[in-house]
């Protein structure tokens, strides 16, 4: 199935999404990579404000390059999500709705996805220039000193994604491998 979903409606759409479903996502998402996640956790531990609200948010594991003329950002491909696996369960437990990245996730992340009715979307690695065409606005909202890895609020229009791990825990990285194993 293919779904066109706005981030404002994502939470209500999550239960119907299944592994392998295509999603054209529009609305607001936030970039956060390794260094930003470390600072977000430091802020959480101190009770300090975060750069964005976690409740029903979508985090894109990306560090967009500087914008080219006429573009909101430069190349904006996904980062390997497994690097954020130590952080994801707590963020999901605090209300995060979805994550976007590339690559498989740990069992603790899958458990947190199921526990919180969230999803993990895969974006195509190596397609950063194509993805950038779906980003209509970008604003640094936290940790500006991190450069490309600063936290940004992105406005996206029909960003093409695949539901890689759905709210039931079905995992495309596992089922896909099984489908192509030789016996």
CATH number reported for the structural domain that contains residue 70 in this entry = 3.20.130.10
Chunk the chain into consecutive blocks of 10 residues (it has 183) and report each block's average pLDDT, rounded to whole numbers.
Answer: 97 97 98 97 97 98 92 94 97 98 97 98 88 95 96 98 98 78 60
DSSP label of 79: P
Element (H, E) at 164: strand 151-165
How high is the pLDDT of residue 182?
60
* Counted domains in the chain: 1
How high is the pLDDT of residue 180?
66
* Domain containing residue 106: 2-180
């Amino acid at each position: 199935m293919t779904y066109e979903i706005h981030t404002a409606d994502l939470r209500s759409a999550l239960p119907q999404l299944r592994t392998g479903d295509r999603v054209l996502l529009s609305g607001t998402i936030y970039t956060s990579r390794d260094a930003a996640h470390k600072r977000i956790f430091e802020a959480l531990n101190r009770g300090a404000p975060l750069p964005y609200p976690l409740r029903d948010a979508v985090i894109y594991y990306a560090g967009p390059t500087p914008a080219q003329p006429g573009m909101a950002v430069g190349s904006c491909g996904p980062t390997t999500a497994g690097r954020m696996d130590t952080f994801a369960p707590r963020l999901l437990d605090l209300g995060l709705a979805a994550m976007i990245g590339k690559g498989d996730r740990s069992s603790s992340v899958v458990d947190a996805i199921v526990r919180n009715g969230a999803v993990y979307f895969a974006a195509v690695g190596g397609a950063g220039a194509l993805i950038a065409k779906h980003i209509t606005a970008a604003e640094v909202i936290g940790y500006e000193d991190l450069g490309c890895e600063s936290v940004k609020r992105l406005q996206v229009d029909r960003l093409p994604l695949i539901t890689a791990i759905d709210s039931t825990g079905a995992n495309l990285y596992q089922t896909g491998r099984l489908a192509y194993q030789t016996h």
